[in-house]
Structure 1
Amino acid sequence: MASAKSKFFKVLGFLFLISAWTGGVLWADWQSPKWVEEFLAEEPVVPVAKFYPLDKFIISIPGDKYPHYLLLELALKSNNPKLKSVLDEADPLIRNSLMKMFSRKSFEQLNSTEQLDSLQNEALMHIVKVLVEHKFPSDIDEVLFTRMVIQ
């Protein structure tokens, strides 16, 4: 009989301990002190820019005596992680727009290193315009020329 009482008190003590623990956790959660919120708060995720390289372009450029050729490789910078599928779908539109833009430039305009920033901005505006006209998302932040060779 003593062992039955002993087991009963052990089980009762265990149930009391579990109940007290659960009650304490619920009470602490109900009180929700500031330090718990700060401890459990997640840091905001900073969006990381992604770079999407396009296939290289070879464009004929009119010259005074003979035609020149431009080899251009560029990448698009965006914070949109889903832009890759948009660029795959809109690739012919983007390439056509850029080929028209660069083929209207003269050899002197393209050969000047001071023109790189303005050419990148102009290319960005052309790409965004084409994407908007065809109802594609146009959240491109920057156009980067990764290689540019003029002959």
Structure 2
Amino acid sequence: MALAKSSVVKSLAIICVFLGWTAGALWLGWQGPELTKPYLQPEEEPVKVAKYYPLEKFIMSIPGDKYPHYMLLEMTVKSHNPLLESVLLEADPVIRNSLMKMFSRKTFQELNDRDQLESLQSEALVMIVKVLSENDFQSDIDEVLFTRMVLQ
């Protein structure tokens, strides 16, 4: 009888070890990728896509030789900062004011010259970044694009 109990105990021990081994293997199968992910796969940083934020259009009076001219200007700001839209909305009055001052110092001939378009965009970028910085706003602007410019 002792021999029978001994073989039953051994059988139960083997079955318990087998079940424990199987349960551990199943658990590692489910949890394994999560546990080994930091060690096996390099973590890729998400690609930051540039966003474009259109500004309200400007209609300004430009001094001319004989009579005043008018300019319609539509601009878009390019940035990789997804939070810039709220900054641009809050800072809209100071941005518009600084751009109005900048363009009011230009003559009709300067603005009408197509070769000056890139330098005007660069100047507007510098002006906007400066105004944002002076007023304690984030100034993560990559580029200023003129999407429409009509002189009359």
Q: Same fold, TM exceeding 0.5? A: yes
Q: SS of 2:45's equivalent?
A: coil
Task: Report 1:26-105 matches (<5 A).
Answer: 37-38=40-41, 41-105=42-106
**Alpha-carbon shift at residue 16 of structure 1 (Å):** 3.6
Structure label with greater radius of gyration: 2
1:98 CA drift (Å): 0.4
- Secondary structure (helix, strand or coil) at the match of 2:70 reads strand
**Alpha-carbon shift at residue 11 of structure 1 (Å):** 6.2
| Percent identity (aligned) | 58
Give the drift of 1:10: 9.7
**TM-score normalised by the chain length of structure 2:** 0.80
- The answer for unaligned runs of 5 or more in structure 2 is 1-7
Counting matched residue pairs gives: 141
Q: Distance in 2 between matches of 1:99 and 1:135?
A: 20
**TM-score, with length taken from structure 1:** 0.81
Q: What is the letter of the counterpart of residue 141 of structure 1?
A: D
Counterpart of 1:115 in structure 2 is 116
Separation in 2 of the partners of 1:64 and 1:29? 72
Change (3 A) 1:29 1:136: closer
Instruction: Give the Å deviation of 1:42.
Output: 3.3
Structure 2 residue matching 1:47: 3-state secondary structure: coil
